[in-house]
Chains A and B, each alone.
Chain A
Amino acid sequence: AQSVTQPDIHITVSEGASLELRCNYSYGATPYLFWYVQSPGQGLQLLLKYFSGDTLVQGIKGFEAEFKRSQSSFNLRKPSVHWSDAAEYFCAVTLIYNQGGKLIFGQGTELSVKP
């Protein structure tokens, strides 16, 4: 079955440390890939997306993600985490020519930031 997996439910990092959030997908072809962030009490905000071209994608708030076809992965990274990055992060995919237009989400990774 088609799926998106975020293996880490909860991650804690120290402020200023680097961050990597993992995302793996299971599809027959390359989908469109997204990372969203949900701050407490807020809706989802798009951080970045990939659909073709350079496999290293830059997003907002200093985030980047790298698409690796061989590993079916789209991991999110940030070189230096700020306390304001504490939030829940969702990886999502959608299929090309997906007439239903739905995003298929992973379970989410909650990020805590230690002072």
Chain B
Amino acid sequence: EAQVTQNPRYLITVTGKKLTVTCSQNMNHEYMSWYRQDPGLGLRQIYYSMNVEVTDKGDVPEGYKVSRKEKRNFPLILESPSPNQTSLYFCASSLRTSGNRGETQYFGPGTRLLVL
């Protein structure tokens, strides 16, 4: 089954404790992206990757890191989490960027993070 998977689905942590949220897709997509969803704000892009070893900042990258060493995986790293990073995080992928013929982005199930 074609899908985007994220782990963990739920995570409670404390300020400053490094964490990684994994994202994997099995559709051989070039493009992957991370969003965070906050009430009243919709989803906002954190980082994106056009292909292996090609990553760039989205609208809200502060406090986050990413890497794209393999085509299928795009982990989101919080080196020193803070309470304002408490949010619902979504990973998404598409064959190419959405700006290319309106490619559909497929979303993972989300990771709910609470930073105390």
Contacts and interface: CB of A to CB of B under 8 A. Distances in A.
Nearest to A106: B42
B48 A101 contact: yes
Interface stretch (A38-46, A62-70, A75-83): A38-46
Interface residues of B, number: 31
A107 B43 CA distance: 8
Given A90-B42, A94-B102, A108-B42, A100 B107 contact: no
Contact of B45 (A32, A49, A103): A103
A99 B43 contact: no
A12 B4 CA distance: 31
Contacts of B41: 107
A105 B41 CA distance: 8
B102 A102 contact: no
Interface in B27-42: 31, 33, 35, 40-42
A92 B94 CA distance: 15
Contacts of A106: 42
Contacts of B110: 42-43
A102 B109 contact: no
Interface of A: 4, 9, 32, 34, 36, 41-46, 49-51, 90, 92, 94-103, 105-108
